[in-house]
Structures are given as structure tokens and as C-alpha cells.
Amino acid sequence: MRQQMIFARREFKYLLTRQQQQIILSAMRPYMVPDEYAHSSIRNLYLDTPEFHLIRRSLEAPVYKEKLRIRSYGRAREEEPVFVELKKKYRSGVYKRRIFLPQDEALACLEGAAPWPRTQIAREIAYSSRFYQTLSPMVFLSYERDAYHARDDESFRVTFDTQIRFRREYLTLDSEPWGAPILGPDQVLMELKVSGGFPLWMARVLSEQQLFKVSFSKYGTAYQRMPESSGGVSHYA
């Protein structure tokens, strides 16, 4: 699954307590199994302009929005491969396209110091990079993820993210995941990733626990907590 380069699906997010997470995990047991990479320590470098144009526009909730990031699963040194991802959202649909490059080469491509690979996905990422002109890593964001997929349909996935942290300094994936926390110690972010509808058993447990989908952006929440965005927090919240 981790080597998949193109995704098209819908994503629904829920904020849970640790107790609710255990109840959902218990309900999942007959229907779901751990993903191929059951646990990941995910690190991201979010790319943006110096004025944070991408995330400010995203927080305005437009019909279409996009994000660019560099992602690794665990610590990645400069020469180790990472994913360069272009994530687009149109209405409730999420479309993600990514390529696999050494971290130093990926940064060189973004800076215009090296050519992008000659693939369709790379051309799309290069176009977005040129469109925004002044993109560079602006935020490091990390979290611990546990992932599951349905026994009979791998397109239905459930992930639980904890220890979500961000920072503005030391922007490299070759680092420990330290930074300011986004969630409280008893909070878990659950994401349901579907290409169709929810299974009935999941709809039932969500109803029983009175859980409702939320609009939650990790990068957006990080931006709103930055001191330099304080003038815009009330506008976007």
C-alpha cells in the first residue's frame, strides 16, 4: 500500500477519546486487519509560500484546494527516498499523487536546482511548484499512525493518529519528531478512507458513540497556532 502512487477516495475525520478508540477497535476486530505497515511514525514537510498562501486559502474552505508536502515513514536522511505528494480536494473527493525521490533531490527539484523526473505525476507536481513560485518547507509535522483495512475490501481503511506535533524550525525529515502538540493527551484523530459507503457495522458504532465527522486539518491547525497567524485565527476558526 505504501508504494501506491495515485489515490482517489473520500476521507472522513473524527476526534475520539482513547476510550472511544478502544471501543471502535473492538468493533473492528471481526471485519478489519492491520495494514501491511500497521504502525508508522510519519514525518512531513509542508511546502508553502512565505505568506502561507496555500494553507490560508485552504482554511477559507474553497470548493477546490491543494497541498504539497514531502513525507517519510520514519526518519529519512538526505540521500534516502521520500515521497513528494500533491494532495487535491474537490468537494468531498480526495485525490493524491506522489513520486518517490531521495530527500536531497526532491528539495533540489523544488528549488529549481535539479530537473524533475520525466513522468506524468512529476510534471503535475512541477507545475504546481512553478505556479506558486516561492514554495519551500515551512512546517515540520509528525504523528504516530496505526492503520487497518477491511478483510474483504482493502479500499476501506481506518487510521488512528496520535502524538501530532509541529514546529517551524529544523525543517528536515532526518530528525526526531519533536514539536508543539496539536491534540490533547486523551485525543485521537480517526480517519475513514472509502471509495464507496461505510460498512453497516461502522455506521452503527459511530452512531452508538455519538461520533460525528469533523473538519480537521493537521497543517491548518498548526498554522492557526503559530504566533504570526494570530491576526487571522478568529477569521479562519
Q: What is the pLDDT of residues 208-224, one digit of tens each?
A: 999 999 999 999 999 99
Span 134-193, pLDDT tens digits:
899 999 999 999 999 999 888 899 999 999 999 999 999 998 999 999 999 999 999 999
Residue 26 pLDDT > 50, yes or no?
yes
Record the pTM.
Answer: 0.89
- The more confident residue out of 136 and 197 is 136
- The more confident residue out of 43 and 90 is 43
Residues with Cβ < 8 Å from 32, sequence gap 6 or more? Answer: 148, 149, 150, 151, 158
Query: How is 174-225 classified by DSSP, letter by letter?
Result: SS---SEESS-TTEEEEEEEESSPPPHHHHHHHHHTT---B---HHHHHHHT
CB 5 within 8 A of CB 122: no
- Domain ranges, ordered by start, for the chain: 6-236
pLDDT of residue 228: 65
pLDDT of residue 43: 97
pLDDT of residue 76: 94
Which pairing describes strands 180-181 and 81-90: parallel, antiparallel, or unpaired?
unpaired
Q: What single-letter amino acid sits at 30?
A: P
pLDDT of residue 1: 41
Right CATH for 6-236 from 3.40.50.300, 3.40.190.10, 3.20.100.30, 2.60.40.1730: 3.20.100.30
Among all chains, which residue has been given the C-alpha cell 500500500? Answer: 1
pLDDT of residue 235: 29
| Percent of the chain's residues with pLDDT above 70 | 94
Span 41-69, pLDDT tens digits:
999 999 999 999 999 999 998 889 899 99
